[in-house]
Amino acid sequence: MPDDIWFVVAAIILITIGGLFAAIDSAVSTVSIARVEDMVKEGRAGARRLATILSARGTYVGLAVLLRVVCETAAVALIALSATDTLGVTWGLVVAIGGMAVVSYVAVGVGPRTLGRQHAYTIALASAVLLSVLGVLLTPVTRLLILIGNALTPGRGYRNGPFATEVELREVVDLAEASGVVAAGERRMIQSVFDLGDTSAREVMVPRPEMVWIEADKSVAQATNLAVRSGHSRIPVIGENTDDVLGVVYLKDVVAKTAAGRGAPSTLTVRDVMREAEFIPDSKPLDKVLADMQRTRNHMAMLVDEYGGIAGLVTIEDVLEEIVGEITDEYDLDEVAPIEKLPDGAYRVSARLPVEDLGELFDIEIDDDEVETVGGLVGLELGRVPLPGARVASHGLELVAEGGPNRQGRQRIITVLVTRVASADDGADDDPSEQDGGPSDALSDTSRAVQHASSTDADETVHGRQDHDHAGSMAHASRSGPRARTERDR
């Protein structure tokens, strides 16, 4: 009996130590490196040692987890010995397993972890010395166990253990918003930073048909006029066609040369003042695009598709808008919102809105690998180039194309009016196009005539003449239409 009492006392001590390591694990996983660096500058005790621990956070978190598991396991074994000696093997094991499950959950799983998050910096600073000493003694054991765990786990393992993944960081951000530490807008921006690596440049680019460009043999005066009319200070320079991009002309360079009297604006050509263009694959992740633009001090890049043609262009503003949302200036007076909810429940969306975002609006699954945008979905269902006034039904939705001619005279759709089609259960047995009261009823007879005529006139309308005196095409999407992506909570 005396031995059993000592077993229980030892188990209580081990549970306490296990709870301590659980709190340390939670605290070290929660603290911010930037905050600790500020503490180092302030000269706070233990901050420098804690900064060293955070430089190898995964290793020390793994060490704390190992010691917690050892303490819990030893405590369970001691209680099992004491219980079986007193109650017999069967009831002793039942009491030991049931009792220790509750005790471990409360004394190790919930309480210490909550304290570790609530007082993360205090606990982390206080335990920095202990972790450093234990790290020197037990790091080889910890690394060996991590290697064994990775070897037994299918797929790619983690060098320092799966203790500081992106998923955990996202959960911390969500918890911070729920606790009122960060605002909802701040959480969206932080989550958008994580999504940069999963977003390609193609998803935020200005497509080639909407680029503003100028021919290389045009005069500097014409380039200045185009820059003033379009509101862009950087314009791609082309040769024979839009796939033949020779460089980029900057309005500042044009003004500097003409103001310095180095040439007459009417005789100096764009070729003489343009700079080299940067070309990148359209599949390049946005985080790498942003890093390259910062490194090269370049704010515009031309995107090349898999066939070697120009797919479009991307600017540093397009990348930043993926983080902070839409950025507008004095020239964005006619910008259209990517998503506009109408009073009758319908939506007016950008033709460049991703089909996944459209599905989220109506809580439906739109899984079509052939197209990426709402405008592309209209064209796919229509079977030809969509024109303003075209109407299609897809995935239980009615889509009506809206738009008009651009600067070259081409008919292009800019927005799409989307309405949920009434089901048979709602008594909508008639054709949706003949029902009253919906937004699609506003479609005029003229628009219907345009739709029926599109099969014969599509080639002439879509491939209409290009006015080279204007030296450009449709303006940047941020000037003439909505962006492809929205400031949605991903």
Per-residue pLDDT tens digits for 334-347:
566 778 889 888 89
Which residue range(s) make up the domain with 408?
339-420
Q: Choose between 1 and 474: higher pLDDT.
A: 1
Output Rg (C-alpha) for the chain, integer angstroms. 32
Please state, in angstroms and rounded to a whole number, the distance separating the CA atoms of residues 452 and 430.
21
CB 213 within 8 A of CB 230: no
Please state, in angstroms and rounded to a whole number, the distance separating the CA atoms of residues 77 and 11.
8
For residue 40, give both structure tokens: 């180092």
What is the mean predicted confidence (pLDDT) over 171-195?
80
- Last residue within a domain, chosen from 115, 148, 181: 148
For residue 319, give both structure tokens: 């990348």
Q: Choose between 368 and 46: higher pLDDT.
A: 46
Task: Answer yes or no: is 428 within a domain.
Answer: no
> What does the pLDDT read at residue 330?
67
Do 344 and 222 share a structural domain? no
Length of the chain: 490
Q: Quickly state the pLDDT bin for 159 (edges 50, 70, 90).
A: low
Q: Quickly state the pLDDT bin for 490 (edges 50, 70, 90).
A: very low
Candidates 282, 285, 327; CA nearest to 301 is 282
Task: Answer yes or no: is 376 within a domain.
Answer: yes
Do 4 and 110 share a structural domain? yes
Candidates 99, 100, 80; CA nearest to 90 is 80
Q: What is the number of domains present in the chain? A: 4
Pinpoint the alpha helices (H) of 88-119.
Answer: 89-104, 111-118
Q: How far is CA 456 from CA 449, 450, 460, in A?
A: 12, 10, 8
> What does the pLDDT read at residue 155?
63
CB 479 within 8 A of CB 231: yes
CB atoms within 10 A of CB 51: 16
Do 173 and 124 share a structural domain? no
What is the chain's mean pLDDT, rounded? 78
> What does the pLDDT read at residue 60?
83
> What does the pLDDT read at residue 280?
94
Do 286 and 236 share a structural domain? yes
Do 274 and 223 share a structural domain? yes
Q: Which residues, 6 or more positions from 367, have their beta carbon under 8 angstroms from its beta carbon? A: none
Please state, in angstroms and rounded to a whole number, the distance separating the CA atoms of residues 312 and 208.
4
> What does the pLDDT read at residue 445?
41
* Structure confidence by residue, pLDDT tens digits, 262-290: 667 777 889 989 999 999 999 999 999 99
Do 138 and 15 share a structural domain? yes
pLDDT at 240 over 80: yes
Per DSSP bridges, beta strands 214-215 and 234-238 are: parallel
For residue 387, give both structure tokens: 């024109």
Q: Choose between 320 and 484: higher pLDDT.
A: 320
Task: Answer yes or no: is 466 within a domain.
Answer: no
Q: How far is CA 246 from CA 173, 223, 241, 258, in A?
A: 45, 15, 10, 22
> What does the pLDDT read at residue 278?
93
Do 257 and 208 share a structural domain? yes
Question: Which of 113-117, 279-283, 326-330 bottoms out in mean pLDDT, i.e. has the lowest?
Answer: 326-330
Do 276 and 404 share a structural domain? no
CB 56 within 8 A of CB 160: yes
CB 196 within 8 A of CB 290: yes
Q: Which residues, 6 or more positions from 155, have their beta carbon under 8 angstroms from its beta carbon? A: none
pLDDT at 443 over 60: no
> What does the pLDDT read at residue 473?
38
Task: Answer yes or no: is 487 within a domain.
Answer: no
Q: How far separated are the first and last CA of the chain, in Å rounded? A: 61
Residue 401 sits in a domain of what CATH number? 3.30.465.10
Share of the chain above pLDDT 90, in %: 18
What is the mean predicted confidence (pLDDT) over 293-298?
92
**Which amino acid, one-letter code, is at 192?**
S
- Last residue within a domain, chosen from 420, 441, 467: 420
What is the mean predicted confidence (pLDDT) over 66-77?
89
What is the mean predicted confidence (pLDDT) over 395-414?
79
* Structure confidence by residue, pLDDT tens digits, 468-484: 333 343 333 333 333 33
Do 138 and 39 share a structural domain? yes
CB 478 within 8 A of CB 315: no
> What does the pLDDT read at residue 433?
39
Task: Answer yes or no: is 475 within a domain.
Answer: no
pTM for the model: 0.53
> What does the pLDDT read at residue 166?
63
Task: Answer yes or no: is 192 within a domain.
Answer: yes
- Last residue within a domain, chosen from 420, 453, 468: 420
Helix (H, G, I), strand (E, B) or coil at 324: helix
* Structure confidence by residue, pLDDT tens digits, 210-236: 888 999 999 999 999 998 888 888 999
> What does the pLDDT read at residue 262?
66
Do 127 and 259 share a structural domain? no
